[in-house]
Amino acid sequence: MSINIGFIKEITPDEKRVALVPESVKKLSDKGFRVFLEKGAGEKARYHDLSYKESGAEILESAKEALSRSQIILKVQPPSPDEIEAINPDSFLIGFLQHYKYPERINMMADKKINAFAMELIPRITRAQSIDALSSQAAVAGYKAAIIAANMSSRFFPMLTTAAGTIRPSRVLVIGAGVAGLQAIATSRRLGAIVEAYDVRKAVKEEIQSLGAKFLESPLVAEGAGGYARELTQEEKDMQHRFMADNIGRADIVISTAQVPGKRAPIIITKDMVEKMKPSSIIIDIAAENGGNCELTKPGEIIDYEGVLIYGPLNLPSTLATHASEMYSKNLLNFLILLTKEGKTLDVDFNDEILLKSCVIFKGEIKI
């Protein structure tokens, strides 16, 4: 008996991504899985039903049908209560679950004995790189942040030598040089800006420099566990404030991406720093989803503070839905290979760190 895999239209407002793209469907079909999708599931990400059909999927009229006929359900956003209602007990659900935000949905799934795995909990180990959806989607967000900054700015990014004079390039400061920050640096460099970057992890210095940007050296180091940054002490925050206040005024564009696992994003850009920025400067705060790195950020809004535009975009990966879905779909495909044997049996081996750490519910028990 082959395993049935299903995916549906994402109904969360502004979510355009889809869990599987036709290329991955073809790979799953070739491995012996049966794939079901709700009619039009990939439309918003520009993947059409015909391509899915040609890749071997079966198109069903409703989400309810796709959910109830599948043993494995793939999602981008957490399932809604109605969706959970339509899923059979003992099925597997894999997606971004945001368990801290929707504990009642986790309880509902546990009560129904739906097994659930969260893509945001995949450990950041070398073996899991091809499954690491946080990274694939952060890369999209970092790229898009630089493009939005260039679009919002009233200045060129590159230097321009014209008959009408020489235009100086924009100066971009990237705060936080993790996956998103490095992509924002690379994209700003490709557009010709002078880029500086700052992080509390010294390990990123070489990566920043290899992208042609300058690493802003500060005496502050805050490496935490697992390669992440840790939260700063009050004394360190004051030190960071003095350091950033000296540097931020030079930037035309600030792209901030700093995060600390399990905490609100650290406030790094304070109101007094914004007051020191040139009018016409732009702050793109992609940590907005998690509270923001700028004291003045209003998630999802653009605000004008004394001529400085501060934008805290939400769900940037959805704005590049075709490629973000392609990357996410590959992450899911690689996860499914771990979870199953030859498309025929589900094999949850909790000796595997990746399955152990990403599991949220198993056989009715909440594991987190």
- Under the binding rule (CB under 6 A), the answer on residue 339 touching ligand NAD is no
Rounded CA gap, 51 and 300, in Å? 33
Looking at residues 134 to 173 of the shown chain, list those that interact with ligand NAD (rule: CB under 6 A): 134-135, 138
Report if residue 292 touches ligand NAD, rule: CB under 6 A: no
| Cα distances (Å, whole numbers) of residue 329 to 31, 76, 132, 228, 270 | 16, 9, 11, 25, 38
**Rounded to the nearest whole angstrom, what is the least distance from the CB of residue 128 to ligand NAD in the complex?**
6
Q: Which string of x and - marks every residue 206-245 that binds ligand NAD (by CB under 6 A)?
A: ---------------------xxx--x-------------
For position 10 contacting ligand NAD by CB under 6 A, the verdict is no
Which pair of tokens denotes residue 185?
A: 């640096």
In whole angstroms, how close is the CB of 176 to ligand NAD at the nearest point? 3
Q: Which CB atom, from 3 or from 122, has the smaller least distance to ligand NAD?
A: 122
Residue 201 Cβ vs ligand NAD, minimum distance, rounded to whole Å: 4
Nearer to ligand NAD, 60 or 141 (CB): 141
The residues that are catalytic are 124, 129, 132, 135, 228
Per-residue burial over 317-334, b = 16 or more CB atoms within 10 Å of its CB, e = otherwise: bbbbbebbbbbbbbbbbb
Q: What is the DSSP string of 251-290?
A: -SEEEE----TTSPPPP-B-HHHHHHSPTT-EEEEGGGGG
CB nearer ligand NAD, residue 13 or residue 262 = 262
Element (H, E) at 201: none
Q: Which is nearer to ligand NAD, 112 or 124 (CB)?
A: 124
Q: Residues 6 or more apart from 290 whose CB is under 8 A from it?
A: 259, 264, 265
- Residue ranges that bind ligand NAD, judged by CB under 6 A: 124-126, 128-129, 132, 134-135, 138, 175-181, 198-201, 204, 227-229, 232, 257-261, 266, 268
